[in-house]
Amino acid sequence: MKTSLSSRIDAAVRAAAGRPLLWVAVVLFLHAWPVIWSVRTPVPEPPPVLGAVPQFELTDERGRPFGSRELAGRVWIASFIFTRCPAVCPAITRQMARIQGRARSLEPALHLVSFSVDPDHDTAARLADYARSHRASPRMWTFLTGPVGEVQATVEQGLRVSMGTGGDRSPESISHGTHLVLVDGDGRIRGYYDPEAPDVVDRVVAHAALLVNER
């Protein structure tokens, strides 16, 4: 039985080998398959426009001016932290670090920006130490501070994320929004993402890549 089956297979292979047109068809199919697949696979829709971020200029961790001018034409992802945060901020920054690692191929078209919501305490030097402790790439990830009023205007009125300024400004009394914000190269908000969501890194990187490829 096995010998007979093997013989039939050998015969079929020899017959196919003797038909050049069959091999041509196979080669053409293999070349055409990526095109067929791309046609059959729907392209994801880019995230919707949710608002515009007004022009701003703050101070980065190296003490230099940084804002809308430096981000013009680049897709960017914002987070909101402070260096003496006892709870959620380290987790947010770890998620940003994961995004940095996953999205290196999108740099320099993609940039990460972390705003301090405790700017009176978070000097440029403190932010520089914080950035180093989280292995932030200076080329890809910027940390911002500045006068409280200017930071708050950018965070609350621009990016539409809460930034509490009441209380005694002890670490325990500082409240702020935790969502990551995706902004396109024209300064338009394109998404808010819960940093605690299990798929947040995948979603943010995928949406950022769509916006990079739009340009």
Residue 168 confidence (pLDDT) above 80: no
**Strand, helix or coil for residue 57:** strand
pLDDT at residue 24, as a whole number: 47
Q: pTM here?
A: 0.79
Could you list the beta-strand ranges (E) of the chain. Answer: 51-52, 57-60, 65-67, 75-81, 110-116, 141-145, 180-183, 188-193
Q: What is the pLDDT of residues 53-110, one digit of tens each?
A: 999 999 999 999 999 999 999 999 999 999 999 889 999 999 999 999 999 999 999 9
Provide the mean pLDDT of the chain.
86
Question: Could you give the domains of the chain?
Answer: 2-40 (no CATH), 51-214 (3.40.30.10)
